[in-house]
Amino acid sequence: MPELNKRRAFSIFITILLLGAIPLITALAKDTATVQSSGIVQEGEIFTQAGENAFIGERPNASLPPPPDKDSCLHCHITGEDKNLWTPLARWFLFGTMGLFLGYGLYRNAGTLVSKKPWKPIPQRIAEWVDERYQISAPLSKVLSKPVPKYALHWWYCLGGITAFLFIVQGTTGILLAFYYQPTPETAYASIQFIESQVRFGAAIRSIHHWAANGMILMCVAHMLRVFIMGAYKPPRELNWVSGVLLLTLTLAFGFTGYLLPWDQRAFWATTVGSEIAGSLPVIGNLALVFLRVGWDVSAQTLSRFYALHIIALPLLTVAMMGAHFLMVRRQGIARPL
Amino acid sequence: MSEDIQETESIPFFPDHVSTELKVVVGILAIVVLIGLWGLIHPVGLQEPADPMNTPLHVKPEWYFLALYQLLKFIPKTVGAVAPVLALGVLMLWPFIDRKADQTPRARRIRLIVTSILVVILIALTIWGEVS
């Protein structure tokens, strides 16, 4: 057992005091809630009028907002009753930030006090901890210090980078949309309406996903035109060009499959016409049509297939192809202009 | 243009090049946030729910397929289906067709002109498809 010196005993004492304060504050807070509950029951009378007579009596804690299915306003449910600064979200944010600062300060002071060494920033500690175990800093610095030609700073060299960044934006907003989207003909349309009208910032997320998709195609084509005009596809960079054309195809496939998902008239008929064109290919036409529609008509199965392609198959292929694309650029360097 | 820049001139990838890229990323992110704000005021919206029984009068694809859609009005369907596949195939195999390493700015100028003509044709077809 380590020696129990004065300083350590003091810090243990403080810890016990703080831990003891938590149940005490909780108990006090409960008392306040019961005292205040008489005032809040009146708000509950709205539900009494709606024919929920037994509701108030059965509610375990009157200070809680009503459950979501009893609440007519979803936003009010998330934010709680309107008390200006004191809505629950503001409280969480304020006390959370204060708690983080307090915790960090306590840790930093206690750390320097115990070790009697100057304070090292936490990121540096983490970096040293990882490097001790995996020796990552030497190869990493070699990768990072690779020289880049100055001509690569011209604006037309960042078109590909912008495309990649827009892909990340699409991935992020796409995951957020997938939390609420339901890929069946009965519910798809309503779930998009729900996203646009009920979900917090849902309209913004959908708008970003919609417009960034268009931007990604534009940037992709612009990048390809730049590479073509400057002749950067010439040996030894042939495979990079091939992977780039595949990436453009994947981006267009993203657009085509994503277009069906809202399941409105435009989506349905654009897919019908689009798959019809694929169906008029010689020899493999019918095969392509049946592969796209899963049958002879655009149906629930088509929606499932397009959804799976859009959120699983195409992203995986694109990420793999982008990795190869970047590694090749990295290995061969950026093509020198004439 | 960059004729007078020497080949040996370079900057380290990190932090110089990365910080430049970061500026571009922050700029794009700002545009993305603005699009989000715009979307809060004017949502993308939906048309009528899909109805397989009721074909609308004008079915138009997204703008990036509009050129192909317009082209299909004038050429047989089979040709219209094969053409984009063939075009993508040629595009993909282009570096194996045009292998000569070019040393002159002239080759580049020719490519610029050819690309410009193709792009203008594509844009014209797209606009035509949009207004027709």
DSSP letters of B9-78?
Answer: -EEEIIIIIHHHHHHHHHHHHHHHHHHHHHHHHS-----SBP-TT---S-----HHHHHHHHHTTTS-HH
In tens, the pLDDT along B41-96 reads 999 999 999 999 988 887 888 899 899 889 888 998 889 899 999 999 999 999 99
What Rg do the C-alpha atoms of chain B give, in angstroms? 22
Mutate to test the interface with B, among A234, A272, A296 (most CBs of B within 10 A): A234
Output DSSP code: residue A69. Answer: G
State both tokens at B104: 């002159």
Alpha-carbon distance of A288 to B74, in angstroms, equals: 23
**In the numeric block, which tokens belong to residue A261?**
């998902």
Say which of B55, B92, B95 has its CB closest to residue A234.
B95
Assess A331–B contact: CB distance below 8 Å, yes or no: no
DSSP letters, A307-337, are HHIIIIIHHHHHHHHHHHHHHHHHHH-PPPP
What pLDDT sits at residue A65?
Answer: 62
d(CA B123, CA B117): 10
Task: Please check the confidence at residue B103 and state whether its pLDDT lies above 80.
Answer: no
3-state secondary structure of A264: strand
Are A145 and B13 in contact (CB < 8 Å)?
yes
Give me A308's structure tokens: 């799976």
pLDDT for A257 equals 96
Nearest CA in chain B to A147: B12
What pLDDT is stored for residue A32 in this prediction?
57
DSSP state of A149: E
**Does A203 contact B85 at a Cβ distance shorter than 8 Å?**
no
B94 vs A241: CB contact, 8 Å cut-off?
A: yes
Provide the 10 A C-beta neighbour count for residue A130: 12
Q: What is the pTM of this model?
A: 0.76
Residue A238's pLDDT is what? 93
Q: Report which of residues B18 and A70 the model is more confident about.
A: B18
| A259 to chain B: closest CA residue | B62
**Is A207's CB within 8 Å of B94's CB?**
no
The answer to whether residues B113 and A228 touch, using CB atoms and an 8 Å cutoff, is no
Looking up tokens 């703008």 gives B63
Q: Which residues contact B43 (CB under 8 A, 6 or more apart)?
A: A196, A203, A206, A207
| Minimal Cβ distance to B21: which of A161, A201, A206 | A161
A275-312 per-residue burial string, b: 16 or more CB within 10 A, e: under 16: bbbbbbbeeebeebbeebbbeeebeeebbebbbebbbe
Nearest-neighbour CA in chain B from A189: distance (Å): 7
Split chain A (338 residues) into runs of 10 and give each run's mean pLDDT. 72 88 75 51 46 47 62 61 62 89 93 90 92 92 86 88 96 97 95 93 96 96 94 91 96 95 94 91 93 94 96 97 95 82
State residue A46's pLDDT score. 47
Average pLDDT, chain B: 88
- Residue A259 DSSP SS3: helix
Nearest chain A Cα distance for residue B127, angstroms: 15
Q: Does A281 touch chain B (CB under 8 A)?
A: yes
Coil, helix or strand at residue A296? coil
A215, A245, A294 from A221: Cα distances, Å: 10, 10, 31
Residue from A159, A280, A299 to probe the interface with B (highest B Cβ count within 10 Å): A280
CA B117 to chain centre: 15
